């Protein structure tokens, strides 16, 4: 195959092959970081990070058997169950998050799929958070098309529903919900004109090929997710994945960089697992194209770095927080031409400079 020039990186595509993605993951790390940062700056404001806060609005007693999740009713993790929060309490937490610098407020509930009365309360939460001038996101399990439309009518901006891993490895992690169930929920969310937040979890014992396939599946969705959370497994005692071998940090950084190359316009988010990452590892992730984090509150039922640590890190790295769409648009470079022949045909990773 004829080598493509460096400018081919950053093309918007939905036809990636497994071999192409594996080739990207196999690039020399510094070459990969160089290309990922270049593509990042073509589509996003440099040195700028979007800040989100995630609140668990209903905790525990989930009937699913996700092997990583302490909220499953099937595992003894010591997690205390908490009923769906009151609307006023959620509004107060959102106000605090906004005051701390968050521009998006994400609400997570441990459901397989919300019931009608539960969704009515959550819709009221969405309206209250939107009234504060914040973007809203929810993760509530599977949705029907009608439920997605109800959330859209309430003013929801984003819906999170992760693929978790590759379809081939998926059965090793969860058996109570199929991969197609997840894809169907994503389709319902898109049909309701909601923005999609969708990514996965690394370090669950998957192979490099599984990581490549997860990223390929995300990039080959009909539309790229607007947000792509890349989680590092948080091992919780009592869950089946407790005691798993840790993922090489450089493999995590590689996944961030490849997510940036495959989905240039998406926000790539450092999500769960950040509390165990060194400042140096996080800096590499930002170099690789990560431009969103969760901070403040607890990340559902596991911790994340405190706000002051994040502020100190941002100061040391010269990073600033994302203000809003107008602020972003004024700072990014023009998008690359997506119709180049090389972009359509792919490129040979071994010949990348």
> Which residues are marked as active site?
62, 66, 69, 106, 137, 197, 269
The conformation of residue 350, written as its DSSP 8-state character, comes to G
Report the C-alpha gap between 299 and 127 in whole angstroms: 22
User: Per the structure block, which two tokens stand in for 127?
Assistant: 């309206």
Contact 245, 205 (CB under 8 A): yes
Give the CA distances from residue 187 to residues 14, 138, 287, in Å, rounded to whole numbers and listed in that order. Answer: 16, 16, 32
Dihedral sign, Cα of residue 309, residue 312, residue 318, residue 322:
positive
Report the C-alpha gap between 223 and 187 in whole angstroms: 10
Report the C-alpha gap between 64 and 72 in whole angstroms: 6
Helices in the chain by DSSP H: which ranges?
A: 18-25, 29-43, 87-99, 116-131, 145-154, 167-170, 179-191, 208-219, 249-262, 279-287, 307-317, 325-329, 341-345
């Amino acid at each position: 195959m004829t080598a493509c020039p460096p400018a081919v990186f950053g093309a918007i595509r939905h036809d990636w092959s497994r071999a192409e993605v594996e080739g990207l993951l196999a690039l020399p790390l510094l070459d990969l970081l160089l290309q990922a940062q270049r593509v990042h700056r073509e589509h996003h404001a440099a040195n700028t990070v979007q800040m989100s806060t995630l609140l668990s609005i209903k905790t525990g007693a989930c009937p699913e058997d996700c092997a990583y999740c302490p909220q499953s009713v099937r595992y003894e993790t010591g997690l205390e169950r908490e009923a769906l929060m009151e609307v006023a309490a959620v509004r107060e937490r959102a106000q605090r998050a906004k005051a701390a610098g968050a521009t998006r407020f994400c609400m997570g509930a441990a459901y397989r799929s919300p019931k009608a009365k539960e969704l009515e309360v959550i819709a009221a939460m969405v309206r209250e958070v939107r009234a504060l001038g914040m973007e809203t996101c929810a993760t509530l399990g599977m949705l029907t098309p009608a439920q997605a439309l109800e959330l859209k009518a309430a003013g929801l901006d984003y819906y999170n529903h992760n693929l978790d891993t590759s379809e081939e490895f998926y059965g090793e992690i969860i058996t109570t919900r199929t991969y197609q169930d997840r894809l169907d929920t994503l389709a319902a969310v898109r049909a309701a004109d909601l923005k999609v937040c969708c990514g996965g979890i690394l370090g669950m014992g998957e192979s490099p090929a599984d990581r490549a396939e997860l990223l390929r599946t995300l990039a080959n969705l009909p539309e790229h997710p607007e947000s792509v959370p890349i989680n590092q497994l948080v091992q919780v005692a009592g869950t089946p994945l407790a005691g798993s071998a840790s993922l090489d940090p450089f493999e995590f950084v590689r996944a961030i960089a490849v997510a940036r190359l495959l989905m240039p316009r998406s926000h790539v988010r450092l999500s769960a697992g950040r509390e165990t990452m060194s400042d140096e590892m996080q800096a590499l992730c930002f170099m690789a194209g990560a431009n969103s984090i969760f901070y403040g509150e607890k990340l559902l039922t596991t911790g994340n770095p405190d706000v002051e640590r994040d502020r100190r890190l941002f100061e040391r790295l010269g990073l600033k927080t994302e203000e809003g769409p107008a602020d972003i648009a004024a700072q990014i470079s023009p998008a690359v031409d997506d119709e180049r022949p090389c972009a359509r045909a792919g490129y040979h990773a071994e010949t990348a400079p």
